[in-house]
Amino acid sequence: MRLLFLGDMVGRSGRTAVWERLPGLISDFRLDFVIVNGENAAGGFGITEEIFKLTLAAGADVVTTGNHVWDQREALEFSMREERFLRPANFPRGTPGRGSGVYLARNGARVLVSNIMGRVFMNPDLDDPFQAVERELAACPLGEQADAVVIDFHAEATSEKMCFAHFVDGRASLVVGTHTHQPTADHQILNGGTAYLTDAGMCGDYDSSLGMDKEEPLNRFLSKVPKGRFEAAGGPATICGVGVDISDRTGLAERIAPLRLGPRLEETVPSFWQGR
């Protein structure tokens, strides 16, 4: 199975770039399954139902989120009826929406996607992410109820992300970090066969501060006096993510490489996709 994960869409620039490029990527590389993190898609803060549906229309199979999931209040309502919209699974019991689901890939494989949020430098009141993923994997084990398992671990601390990946190594196809908006260069396959990347980066304008217009963040560092609101940067976007080839036999990763397309960062497409 061939899977693409795209990092946090930020604002109009980021979501438009994804909508424009994703159909061609699916066609050109015959992708079986696509996951997009959409928690910053609406002006940098949250996601609307319209943006969610347009992301699906572009070819995404699932949209994951994170700590900004409820910034647009309408998400509280549409999350309860949209099975392909995920919020972190370790939110408190009774939170609207769902944290994971099993979806059918284009090749017929059953894919468990789980969205889990870290606690270090984030929200220490959340349920333990390690216990949360243990429950998800026990309910839908790789090789039994799922042919592939993908976890979007939305977290700040690299140590928490790496320990989380080692905890599920051999029981998940891919653990990919989101939240920091900075693509890392540590893509690898762990000893047990789980593909891992500390952060997929963002789909947005990299002439910015994490996808936001850089003037106000810079002002706050220099003066400590807010002059206005953070606004999503509107320049040309680079889309960042990761491509993974997953064994149809074991559900574990065979290959992993970053995908980056746009004007600011060095462009790269997984080389192992070229010959398919």
Check the annotation: does 123 bind a ligand: no
The set of catalytic residues is: 68
Give CA torsion, residues 126, 130, 136, 137, to 10 deg. Answer: 170
Check the annotation: does 219 bind a ligand: no
DSSP 19: H
Check the annotation: does 207 bind a ligand: no
Distance CA(30)–CA(269), nearest Å, equals 14
Tell which residue, 275, 269, 271, 247, has the closest CA to residue 25.
Answer: 269
Longest dimension (CA), the chain: 57
Check the annotation: does 181 bind a ligand: yes
**Sign, CA torsion 161/74/135/120:** positive
**Sign, CA torsion 163/167/173/179:** negative
Q: Which phi-psi region, left, alpha or beta, contains residue 94 (left: φ > 0; alpha: ψ -120 to 50)?
A: left
Check the annotation: does 40 bind a ligand: yes
Annotated binding site: 8, 39-40, 67, 154, 179, 181
Annotated binding site for Fe cation: 8, 39-40, 67, 154, 179, 181
